[in-house]
Structure 1
Amino acid sequence: MEISGIISAIIIGIIIGVLGRLVVPGRQRIGVLWTIAVGIVAALIGSALANAFDVADTKGVDWVEWLIQIGLAALGVAALDRSKARR
């Protein structure tokens, strides 16, 4: 992977992670780095799921792929917040 791919993955991870945090109600007790990590993982898994369901390559903006990625990020943020709350 080239440096531009790594930088774009981090930027997309930030966007997806922040949007995932906005979907989850209340205050989350996770840091910025965890948000980015959850966003990157959600973006990768969401892209794979969108490709599997054949909704990734549409004309214009891939809204279904974005919704899948944001939903996965919200689940990841909520799960990580819940696991940190138990400690």
Structure 2
Amino acid sequence: MTPDSVAKIDVISSGNAVTDLKRHFEVDAISIDKIRVERPFGAAAHSMELSRNGLISVDDSYQEVASDFLLDLLMNQYMAPSGSRRRL
């Protein structure tokens, strides 16, 4: 907003909230503190939350699924040619 003030907002989206944010704000001005995804691994009620400091919270019954998902994602990122790596 200004050098003296900051706005903190919650974005609730049934689609891609980051895309919506980028449409309405300058990309450099966005700092995401936390992302919460409802039902990332199927229809049963569960959620996963990722924090800016690297903390990942997931319901106990989905801990193994979330761990495998994140390891696969990180390995794919690591193995990608350096020119095609995207920032996570």
TM-score, length of structure 2 as denominator length: 0.29
Higher relative strand content: 2
TM-score, length of structure 1 as denominator length: 0.30
Higher relative helix content: 1
Greater radius of gyration (CA): 2
